[in-house]
Amino acid sequence: MSTPASPQPSPEPFGARLRRAMDIRGPLCVGIDPHAALLAAWGLDDDVAGLERFTRTVVDALADRVAVLKPQSAFFERFGSRGVAVLERAIADARSAGALVLADVKRGDIGSTMAAYAAAYLDPGSPLFSDAVTVSPYLGFGSLRPALDAARAAGSGVFVLALTSNPEGAEVQRARTAGGASVARTVLDHIARENAGAEPLGSVGAVVGATLGRLDVDLAVNGPLLAPGLGAQGAGAEDLPVVFGDAVRNVVPSISRGILGRGPSPEALRESAARETERLVKVLG
């Protein structure tokens, strides 16, 4: 008679891994955004070879020292399958070096389509498997269930768009629901329920722009708060306590051009990331 296989241990939740990474490496998240102008500034051609050189330089320079790397998938997808292959390798190499990878894909759909997006980025067997993804809730928060369930099973995270830094976002996010709450408030309430009871930090995060100024919204969702908008978009580390208030310790500040613009020198990239990390640690504690 064969012996029953022992149950596999559950993977460590993303929220716990993120908290530990930020405590050890600092809170900085560096975006990998290889758009045409940045490739040109590095002296690279706007082709797959330039994309690969750029991406490999950033990963090699930073993946062993920053908490999170955030590749923006659109800049890889624009080159078709060869660009996606570069993204696959970047994700694998960054994770091997100890960085958490947040795939900035902003997917949002329903049913089997949302499940397929989740399989692409949240299935450990996928070549695009990431520690977390960004998603859009504007087909209803319930439409995200396949991604939320897949992330929980894999020990990954999900960052949900809530209060974004682009001015156009307000027409949807500040709109009022039939119950009187804003759409953003409703999204944040859903996130808080997903994270209820999680320690030390939930695995469902919110995307909240660092450029928004003082908010009249409670951001205590027991999850991480991805804060784009620092650097080239105008916000600085000193703005974070104003925007995030008592939830500031859970902020994951994201900087892209402000650091990538220092390339192609790996040493300059590392120096820039170190300075930003030091500045953020002083402000966020």
Question: CA–CA separation, 167 vs 162, rounded Å?
Answer: 13
User: Would you say residue 8 lies in a domain?
Assistant: no
Q: Which residues form the catalytic set?
A: 106
Please answer whether residues 79 and 50 qualify as being in contact, where contact means their C-beta atoms are separated by less than 8 angstroms: no
User: Would you say residue 130 lies in a domain?
Assistant: yes
Question: CA–CA separation, 224 vs 212, rounded Å?
Answer: 17
Range of the domain at 275: 17-284
Please answer whether residues 245 and 213 qualify as being in contact, where contact means their C-beta atoms are separated by less than 8 angstroms: no
Number of domains in the chain: 1
User: Would you say residue 197 lies in a domain?
Assistant: yes
Question: CA–CA separation, 189 vs 199, rounded Å?
Answer: 18
pLDDT value of residue 235:
83
CATH code at position 238: 3.20.20.70
User: Would you say residue 4 lies in a domain?
Assistant: no
User: Would you say residue 194 lies in a domain?
Assistant: yes
User: Would you say residue 120 lies in a domain?
Assistant: yes
In a structure prediction context, what are the per-residue pLDDT tens digits for the chain, which is 285 residues long?
A: 555 555 667 899 999 999 999 999 999 999 999 999 999 999 999 999 999 999 999 999 999 999 999 999 999 999 999 999 999 999 999 999 999 999 999 999 999 999 999 999 999 999 999 999 999 999 999 999 999 999 999 999 999 999 998 989 999 999 999 999 999 999 999 999 999 999 999 999 999 999 999 998 999 999 999 999 887 777 889 999 999 999 999 999 999 999 999 999 999 999 999 999 999 999 987
Question: CA–CA separation, 262 vs 46, rounded Å?
Answer: 18
User: Would you say residue 137 lies in a domain?
Assistant: yes
pTM reported for the whole predicted model:
0.95
Spell out the alpha helix ranges (H) of 71-182.
Answer: 74-77, 81-96, 111-122, 145-154, 170-173
User: Would you say residue 256 lies in a domain?
Assistant: yes
